[in-house]
Amino acid sequence: MAPRLLSYSNIDSPVHRLSGVTKLLAFLLFSIAGMISYDTRCLLAMLILSLVVFYVSKVPFKQYSFVLYLILIFAAINQLAIFLFAPEQGVQIYGTRHELLHVFGRYSITSEQLFYQFNILLKFAVIVPPALLFLLATEPSEFASSLNRIGVSYKIAYAISITMRYIPDVQQEYVNISIAAQARGLDMSRKEKLGRRLKNMAGILLPLVLATLERIEKVSAALELRGFGRKRKRTWYKSRPLTKTDGFVIAGAVLIAVAVLVITFWDGARFYNPFV
Amino acid sequence: MRKPMIEFDQFTFQYRAQSEPTLRDIQLTIYEGEKVLIVGPSGSGKSTLAHCMNGLAPHFYPGECSGVLKIGGVDSKKMGIAELSDLIGTVMQDPDGQFVGLTVAEDIAFKLENEGIVQAEMIRRVQEAAEEVEFADFLAASPQELSGGQKQKTTLAGGLVGGAPILLFDEPLASLDPYSGRATVELIDRLHQNSARTIVIIEHRLEEMLHRAVDRIIVVDEGRIIADLPPDELIASGLLREKGIREPLHLSAIRYAGGSLSQEMNLQYVERMNLEPYRDSLIQWSETPMIESPISTSKPLLELENITFGYDSTHPVLQEISFQVSQGEVLCIAGRNGAGKSTISRLICGFHKPSSGSITLNGRDLSGDSIRERADVIGFVMQNPNHMLSKPLLYDEVASGLVHRGVPENEIRERVHETLRVCGLYPFRSWPIAALSYGQKKRATIASILVLRPEILILDEPTAGQDYRHYHEMMTFLMELNAQGMTLIMITHDMHLMLEYGQRTIVLSEGRKIADDTPARILGDAAIVEQAHLHETSLHILARRLGIEPEEKIVSQFIQSDRRRVN
Amino acid sequence: MQSKSFSVKTVVAIGIGAALFVVLARFGSIPSPIPNTNIQTNYAILALFAVLYGPLAGLLIGLIGHTVTDLISYGNPWFSWIIASGVFGLIVGLLARKLRIQKGQYSLIRIQDGEFGLKGIVLFNIIQIIANVLSWLVVAPVLDILIYAEPANKVFTQGVLATGANIATVAVLGTLIAIAYSKTRTKQGSLTREE
């Protein structure tokens, strides 16, 4: 009943050996650069680079194959929606109009629109490999220490650790509660009307919320009893010291991000325009 | 001169939300290196006593205290929870709530991380603590891979790692099966033997705690300390029974046989106690004619035939399970965690479909019935009542199954009231569920199932975590239902429950049925007991020492006397 | 439960609240035909937690919960909507607290004190509507345009749908659960047995 999830697996690869801090920084820098830039050349270069790194990481295909379909479906629907809502967006952005094919009414396919949508797809694709890598090649235990290291308050960082720790438990609780509800005749399937389903959902959510509030009390007591929040700083059992390689990778990621931004805004426009 | 580690002097504590003090005039000193057991019925204040020691009260649960409490010679008022945690390491009952790390190693290290200890030293100290609790092979394991007992070992190491001279256990056995519980008792004892640590244990499962020696037992009742005695003296006094705490079974048997206990007899260990003065009366007692209880030989109600099931085809969870349940029977299903106990109940209720085999009720194959249709005839009561209670008010909760089935309103009212009367909850019918006690909530969940008039009730650990009085109330209630014809299937590893109330027990191990017999015979079979993560009862050992054959004779006699005493 | 800016309990509420958010995002949502837009029960819970534990908890439960959901189920964080989730929690928390301060010791939304009457229900819903409009009709589409240069009419259509769906979900589920929760907080002293 549970959908499959992405999760870390322990493989020995150069990417796995990097510190979590490095992977977090590289992921964030790539994401930010990818979000800001609309320069096709930069985006293509970043995509190729991250695919190479992905290959180096030796993460087996079957570990993430199932999300690729989700991502593809999502991208396809998004592309279609953009075309339906704004078939002339590309013409507007690039300032020229090369019509290739008239479909019907106000819809026609132009080179500009195709190029614009290709860019959106690229931006979308550029973020996927670093995000997947961060998730599949970093121990969840390192998330918190890495965030703390780049300046996030340790309390917030530890909250994320608690999230990762208790997702399976809360999920189990959800399953138990919905089983109990179904046994008493609450139908959550599509057979019920939406309104009724929402009401039935409330019947599951109330015990789940109460159980969660109780869990918050217990876990807080356990944290207090072992001195959480006592000092202004804390150390991390699972932090990985930064090596020379980490230094190179971080420096490389910073350089790439800066280069992407410089190239993107060199001519004063965010969009790379091949039409003029 | 022994050094006092915990000193209560005229100590009184009152929670902010309550109108009366929970602890009154506590006068108690625990010395360095002592091992002390604190017992008392639920609501007696024994947990509050623990919370005052580790600082949860008043820092986490606000309240007012008067009098003096010194920990390690320092006034506790001058310390916060964090400072107290340097002196007292606490192990609580809920294994998931206190396992906060993503892996065993991180959880053990948690206190050190908060102290800002450097990584290299942390790794060394975590290793040492893990070795001390014999758990160093599991450092990389995640909590989802561990059993309750293993999670508890982790927490225990996490309490040791900071070097606290006092260890405090708050109901450490509550969520463990008998085998793991015994292992915990032995581990605590080794920790005590091998160091100068002071150990305080709060627990109402006395017999299991007495598996290893304690120096003193303190009895708390209604917020006061009513006894502070060495174990044998306390047991001989009979005070425990008065206060609704269960004494070791072999001692009750001696009392039933007419023996009077005296502390010189080394009472707490059935293996070593002096049985001579009681031998004759016990043997005679075991020969008393039994009142034949009518064993139900009526037609089979529920029948499982060659059930095999697995979440994926390579790892079957259950293999070729077959058994029958007769109308009006009380059946227990036992087995260690992961043996397939709860999977069976889920198959019967229709949450999963078996990969092969059939389930029939009154001879009718159930495979075509939906979860909801099965729920009309088979009621399923989960262990945690909070997972089942989905309405704020008791009446609505019990009515909800009928409302979903579109039963007319006046009939709903009638059936709900009738069910509430049966369950002893009628006076509370317009109360919010949150105002009910744990035992009442549990009964409310049973009421919400009973109102659908099922033919079978399946109960998952109906008495888990309840003290003897509440255990007894719950089981008396279930037996009344049974007397009215309700068939009961109970999934449990509570051996007392099985012995006293089960007519038959099925034992599962690694997805297979390995035994199907009377509880008394099953609990006398060493191989099965081990595979099911149970342990031998002191009654069986008593029988063996007296040469009574077959051993179940003394068990049945015991149950008969026990029922007679209670009714 | 009073928020002392960043107590241990707030940290735990953020962590476990975000875990609940993730679990509900995966099990408790009903897809709608527009991409990126679901009828999501987890926002009802986010609203409740923001009222109970304050704006900081609301913000972080939204941010952490949404990021983790995106990462573990798609491997692809959609930042504009992640930020919008955080903003939703933040605004609900801020407005609920604002009311608390104006009314002295108690807020009009006294869910945790067992009082959640008509006035509280109306206020709770006004707050959630404001927060939903700001997050899904302003923050999310504007960021979509800024970050992804998506067409305005597309993202605002998505925004309108998401706003509507979330307002409806929180109005129904959020209110139901808040009422039910406040009823569980009734003081025992007010109860008598009836024979």
Q: Does A98 lie in the same domain as A111?
A: yes
pLDDT exceeds cutoff 90 at C138? yes
Chain C residues touching residue A124 (CB < 8 angstroms): 76
Instruction: Report the alpha-carbon angle A50-A56-A59, nearest 5.
Output: 95
Q: Does A149 lie in the same domain as A260?
A: no
CB-based contact B97 A222, cutoff 8 Å: yes
CA B190, CA B186: separation in Å to the nearest integer? Answer: 6
Mean pLDDT in residue range C168-184: 87
Q: Cα distance from C44 to chain B (closest Cα, Å)?
A: 17
Contact B168, B88 (CB under 8 A): yes
pLDDT at A267: 76
Contact B184, B176 (CB under 8 A): yes
Mean pLDDT in residue range A162-170: 94
Percent of chain A past pLDDT 90, that is, above it, reads: 41
Average pLDDT across chain A, whole number: 87
Strand (E) or helix (H) holding B12: strand B4-15
Between positions 155 and 174 of C, the ones with CB within 8 A of A are 157, 169, 172-173
CA B344, CA B368: separation in Å to the nearest integer? Answer: 18
Phi, psi of B316 (to 5 degrees): -65, 135
Identity of residue A19: S
CB-based contact B428 C185, cutoff 8 Å: no
Q: Does A168 lie in the same domain as A90?
A: no
CA A150, CA A246: separation in Å to the nearest integer? Answer: 14
Chain C contact for A71, CB < 8 A? yes
Between positions 255 and 274 of B, the ones with CB within 8 A of A are none
Strand (E) or helix (H) holding B413: helix B409-422
CB-based contact C194 B391, cutoff 8 Å: no
Residue with tokens 């609203």: C47
Torsion of Cα atoms, B92 then B96 then B102 then B105, to 10°: 40
Please name the residues in contact with B519: beta carbons below 8 A apart, sequence gap of 6 or more.
B332, B498, B499, B502, B504, B505
Contact A10, A243 (CB under 8 A): no
Phi, psi of B27 (to 5 degrees): -125, 105
Give a yes or no: residue A174 inside a domain: yes
Local confidence band at C3 (pLDDT 50, 70, 90 cut-offs): very low
pLDDT at B197: 92
Q: Does A159 lie in the same domain as A103?
A: no
Please name the residues in contact with B244: beta carbons below 8 A apart, sequence gap of 6 or more.
B41, B467, B468, B469
Mean pLDDT in residue range C30-46: 70
Q: Cα distance from A9 to chain B (closest Cα, Å)?
A: 13
Chain A residues touching residue B94 (CB < 8 angstroms): 218
Please name the residues in contact with A153: beta carbons below 8 A apart, sequence gap of 6 or more.
C6
Local confidence band at A2 (pLDDT 50, 70, 90 cut-offs): very low
Give a yes or no: residue A244 inside a domain: no
pLDDT at C102: 46
* Cα end-to-end distance, chain C, whole Å: 37
Q: Does A224 lie in the same domain as A264?
A: no
CA B155, CA C184: separation in Å to the nearest integer? Answer: 32
Q: Does A105 lie in the same domain as A159?
A: no
Q: Does A91 lie in the same domain as A156?
A: no
Q: Of B349, B83, B110, B154, which is closest to residue A181 (Cα–Cα)?
A: B349
Q: Does A108 lie in the same domain as A191?
A: no
* Angle subtended by helix axes A140-149 and A154-183, to nearest 10: 150
CA B211, CA B532: separation in Å to the nearest integer? Answer: 19
How many Cβ atoms from other residues are within 10 Å of residue A105's Cβ?
7
Mean pLDDT in residue range C97-101: 66
Contacting partners of chain B (3+ CB pairs under 8 A): A, C
Strands B504-509 and B330-334: parallel
CA B222, CA B204: separation in Å to the nearest integer? Answer: 15
Give a yes or no: residue A272 inside a domain: yes
Give a yes or no: residue A133 inside a domain: yes
Q: Of B113, B116, B109, B145, which is closest to residue B130 (Cα–Cα)?
A: B109
Phi, psi of A187 (to 5 degrees): -100, 120
CB nearest A207 (choices: B126, B387, B452) = B387
Interface test with chain C among A106, A167, A177, A191, by most C beta carbons within 10 Å: A167
Mean pLDDT in residue range A72-76: 88
Chain B contact for C2, CB < 8 A? no
Give a yes or no: residue A171 inside a domain: yes
CB nearest A202 (choices: C26, C76, C177) = C177
Chain A contact for C145, CB < 8 A? no
pLDDT at C114: 64
pLDDT at A192: 65
pLDDT exceeds cutoff 70 at A244? yes
CA A239, CA A245: separation in Å to the nearest integer? Answer: 16
Q: What domains are defined for chain C?
A: 2-184 (1.10.1760.20)
Contact B168, B84 (CB under 8 A): no
Please name the residues in contact with B498: beta carbons below 8 A apart, sequence gap of 6 or more.
B332, B334, B492, B505, B519, B522, B523
pLDDT at C186: 60
Nearest CA in chain A to B158: A226
Strand (E) or helix (H) holding A203: helix A194-225
pLDDT at B27: 96
CB nearest C191 (choices: B392, B426, B431) = B431
Nearest CA in chain C to A92: C151
CB nearest B393 (choices: C183, C188, C195) = C183
* Sheet (strand B74-75) strand order: B23-31, B4-15, B63-71, B74-75
Q: Does A125 lie in the same domain as A257?
A: yes
pLDDT at C33: 46
- DSSP states of chain C: ----TT-HHHHHHHHHHHHHHHHHHHHSEEE-SSTT-EEETHHHHHHHHHHHH-HHHHHHHHHHHHHHHHHHHHS---HHHHHHHHHHHHHHHHHHHHHHHHTTTS-S-BGGGTB--HHHHHHHHHHHHHHHIIIIIIIHHHHHHHHH---HHHHHHHHHHHHHHHHHHIIIIIHHHHHHHHHHT--GGG-----
pLDDT exceeds cutoff 70 at C37? no
Local confidence band at A186 (pLDDT 50, 70, 90 cut-offs): confident
Between positions 162 and 191 of C, the ones with CB within 8 A of B are 179-181, 183-186, 188, 191
CA C135, CA C83: separation in Å to the nearest integer? Answer: 8
Chain A contact for C25, CB < 8 A? no
CA C48, CA B405: separation in Å to the nearest integer? Answer: 30
pLDDT exceeds cutoff 90 at A35? no
CB nearest C195 (choices: B393, B427, B435) = B427
Q: Of B24, B153, B22, which is closest to residue B91 (Cα–Cα)?
A: B153
Contact B201, B217 (CB under 8 A): no
How many Cβ atoms from other residues are within 10 Å of residue B43's Cβ?
16
Q: Of B91, B13, B24, which is closest to residue B52 (Cα–Cα)?
A: B13
Interface test with chain B among A170, A178, A216, A226, by most B beta carbons within 10 Å: A226
CA B293, CA B389: separation in Å to the nearest integer? Answer: 37
Between positions 104 and 143 of C, the ones with CB within 8 A of A are none
Q: Cα distance from A257 to chain B (closest Cα, Å)?
A: 32
Contact A242, C30 (CB under 8 A): no
Interface test with chain B among C113, C183, C195, by most B beta carbons within 10 Å: C183
Instruction: Please list the pLDDT of chain B residue by residue as tens digits (567 residues).
Output: 689 999 999 999 999 878 889 999 999 999 999 999 999 988 889 999 999 999 998 999 999 999 999 999 999 999 999 999 999 999 988 888 899 999 999 999 999 999 999 999 999 999 999 999 999 999 999 998 898 889 999 999 999 999 999 999 999 998 888 889 999 999 999 999 988 899 999 998 898 999 999 999 999 999 999 999 999 999 888 888 888 888 899 998 998 888 888 887 788 888 888 888 888 889 888 888 776 555 556 778 999 999 999 887 778 889 999 999 999 999 999 988 778 888 899 899 988 889 999 999 999 999 888 888 888 899 999 888 888 888 888 999 999 889 888 899 999 999 999 999 988 899 999 888 888 888 889 999 999 999 998 999 999 999 887 888 888 888 999 999 999 889 999 999 888 899 889 999 999 998 899 999 988 889 888 889 888 888 888 898 999 898 888 888 888 888 888 877 655
pLDDT at C104: 40
Chain A residues touching residue C44 (CB < 8 angstroms): 205
Q: Does A192 lie in the same domain as A113?
A: no
Chain A contact for B169, CB < 8 A? no
Instruction: Report the alpha-carbon angle C96-C99-C105, nearest 5.
Output: 110
Local confidence band at A64 (pLDDT 50, 70, 90 cut-offs): confident
Burial of A273 (0-12, 13-18, 19+ CB in 10 A): middle
CA A3, CA B302: separation in Å to the nearest integer? Answer: 33
pLDDT at C103: 46
8-state DSSP, B432: B
Q: How many CB pairs (< 8 A) connect A and C? A: 188
Nearest CA in chain B to A143: B102
Nearest CA in chain B to A174: B387
Give a yes or no: residue A175 inside a domain: yes
CA B491, CA B339: separation in Å to the nearest integer? Answer: 12
Q: How many CB pairs (< 8 A) connect A and B? A: 156
- Residue B55 tokens read as 């600082």
Q: Does A209 lie in the same domain as A131?
A: no
Give a yes or no: residue A266 inside a domain: yes
pLDDT exceeds cutoff 70 at C31? no
What is the Rg, in whole angstroms, of the alpha carbon atoms belonging to chain B?
A: 25
CB nearest B389 (choices: A207, A215, A223) = A207
pLDDT exceeds cutoff 90 at A225? yes
pLDDT at C56: 94
CA A219, CA A119: separation in Å to the nearest integer? Answer: 46
CB-based contact B392 C184, cutoff 8 Å: yes
Q: Cα distance from A150 to chain B (closest Cα, Å)?
A: 17
8-state DSSP, B291: P
Residue B331 vs residue C73, higher pLDDT: B331
Question: How many structural domains compose chain A?
Answer: 2
Q: Of B111, C173, B103, which is closest to residue A226 (Cα–Cα)?
A: B111
Q: Does A133 lie in the same domain as A12?
A: yes
CB-based contact A228 B110, cutoff 8 Å: yes
Q: What number is the ipTM of this complex?
A: 0.89
How many Cβ atoms from other residues are within 10 Å of residue B319's Cβ?
17
Q: Of B540, C173, B158, C49, which is closest to residue A228 (Cα–Cα)?
A: B158
SS (H, E, C) B294-354: CCCCCCEEEEEEEEEEECCCCCEEEEEEEEEEECCCEEEEECCCCCCHHHHHHHHHCCCCC
Q: Cα distance from A200 to chain B (closest Cα, Å)?
A: 10
- Cα B145 to its chain centre, rounded Å, is 22
CB nearest B432 (choices: C183, C194, C195) = C183
CB-based contact B435 C183, cutoff 8 Å: no
Give a yes or no: residue A242 inside a domain: no
The residue segments making up the domain with residue A151 are 140-237
Chain B contact for A229, CB < 8 A? yes
Residue with tokens 């070729």: B320
- B141 torsion bin: left (phi>0), alpha (psi -120 to 50), beta (else): beta
Local confidence band at A251 (pLDDT 50, 70, 90 cut-offs): very high
Chain A residues touching residue B139 (CB < 8 angstroms): none
